[in-house]
Chain A
Amino acid sequence: MQAFELLQPADTHEALEMLARYKDAAFIAGGTTLLDIMKCGLAAPPTLIDITALPLASIEADHNRVRIGALARNSDIAYDARVQKQLPMLAQAFLAGASPQLRNMATMGGNLLQRTRCTYFRDPAAACNKRAGGAGCDAFEGFHRMHALLGTSDACIATHASDAAVALVALDAVVEIEGPAGKRRVPLEHFYRTPGETPSIENDLAAGELIAAVEIPHAPAQRHSTYLKVRDRASYEFALTSAAAGLEFEGEIITSARLALGGVATIPWRSRDAEEALVGKAPDEDVFRQAAEIALSGAVPRRDNAFKVELAKRTIVRALQIVERGP
């Protein structure tokens, strides 16, 4: 790894000051993405700011919301009894990601900012518009079995890698951001940017800002929810397809629905049209299948990843059935 300076601030104020003062500095917490891409030669920040001493690791819950500090570890969130009870899709999504060792390191904030696993992005010898705008993209003609169907552009088809963020967009999570101008809150659904012509811009975070926490407001269709991930092996693998699904019923009728997709889109993909199609219906396989058709209606399949269109639909149907009937 290239040489860099390591700074260790004691609080958020000091960390933000350092970020403003040191050119091209980057925050480090769990380090599981940043050190990885530094070793790949994709980033070379001259200064790293270790934020692990900042008081941002707590998980709080009351009757209005669950609030997860940016430094809470993935495993702490996944095994938190309140998260497991109130937001099962989120606990399951965290456990579906990475390995136990990585979950003991990786943090809430870092999870939201993790970089794509696109092999062409990770290979400095390949052409990549996300790494270097205008360089072209070797994934279009290359091996793109893992790549995205939804939210793609002529510049980029890289898939967003997070499992947890898929559950969080389904749960209406809000990102709390601190920066030189104070605090601001952004719905996670609006935090992410599809690639368009500028795939290097992945989210709404501005220079000089820090993610402080993620807040999930209590709402219907959270307690009866699941995260279903389909992948090439049973564990420790990125998603081919995934679905975060939640349902609320009054009698036999669905009164509220949540649906977001992972593994198939350039950002964690909320399917609001599919949710609307579920509300007011009595649940059965045809209704779930109709919602799945709607969710994938904008899919742009390519040579190697066309199978994921049907796989994603079946993943949605199965996830909704699990919520309805239990696993």
Chain B
Amino acid sequence: MAKSELKVNGAKYDVELEPNVTLLDALRERVGLTGTKKGCDFGQCGACTVLVNGRRILSCMALAMMHVKDEITTIEGVGKNGTLHPIQTAFIEHDAFQCGYCTAGQIVSAVGLINEGHAVTDDEIREAMSGNLCRCGAYVNILAAVRQEVRRAGI
């Protein structure tokens, strides 16, 4: 066990980390930010998506100790000062979820997609969101929400 510091959503957290603690478990169990969800824990479902230095990754397949120098953004940090991120608003407007378990990962992934700036057409958005599975099958409305925000961002 080693004392470490994680930078999450602009704040610094002192945490105790063993080498085998994933970034996902560190965020949920040590930092106390439980918005990031554990789905498969095998890098297949995307529920655990977070941004590391602005790029989306799977926190279940990352070791927390390898990210102590990085800026981590979770679902709790995509909105600012109590205001929803536009992609969060778009998910509400388009009813882009059912049970909600994958939603945090979907939204953080969509923020990453917009940061990347490669996806414009519907097919490109589908491809760029394919790392996030939705067992309820809300894909049509997820696409609509992400499409709206891609247009608004002027990509």
Contact = CB atoms under 8 A, between A and B. Distances in A.
Interface of A: 1-6, 8, 28, 31-32, 35-36, 39-40, 48, 50, 52, 75, 79, 98-102, 104-105, 234-236
B121 interface: no
Majority-rule SS of A interface residues: loop
Contacts of B46: 99, 101
Nearest to A5: B19
A105 B60 CA distance: 12
A50 B62 CA distance: 11
Nearest to A34: B61
A232 to B, nearest CB: 13
Q: Is the interface of B mostly helix, strand, loop or mixed?
A: mixed
Contacts of B94: none
A52 B57 CA distance: 15
Nearest to A78: B118
Contact of B127 (A28, A31, A36, A235): A235
A293 to B, nearest CB: 32
Output the residue of B18, B61, B109, B131 with the most chain A CB within 10 A. Answer: B61
Contacts of A2: 20
Interface size on B, as a range, is 20 to 34
A100 B131 contact: yes
20 contacts: A1-B20, A6-B65, A28-B63, A31-B66, A32-B58, A40-B42, A75-B55, A75-B116, A99-B130, A100-B109, A100-B116, A101-B56, A101-B57, A101-B112, A102-B131, A104-B55, A105-B58, A105-B62, A234-B126, A235-B127
A39 B19 CA distance: 14
Nearest to A39: B42
A31 B118 contact: no
A225 B57 CA distance: 30
A8 B68 CA distance: 12
Contacts of A105: 57-58, 61-62
A255 to B, nearest CB: 34
A32 B20 contact: no
Nearest to A38: B20
B2 to A, nearest CB: 9
Contacts of A235: 126-127, 130
A100 B19 contact: no
A3 B18 contact: yes
Given A1-B20, A2-B20, A235-B126, A100 B61 contact: no
A48 B22 CA distance: 14
B103 to A, nearest CB: 16
A14 to B, nearest CB: 16
Interface string B111-154: 01100101000000011101110000000000000000000000
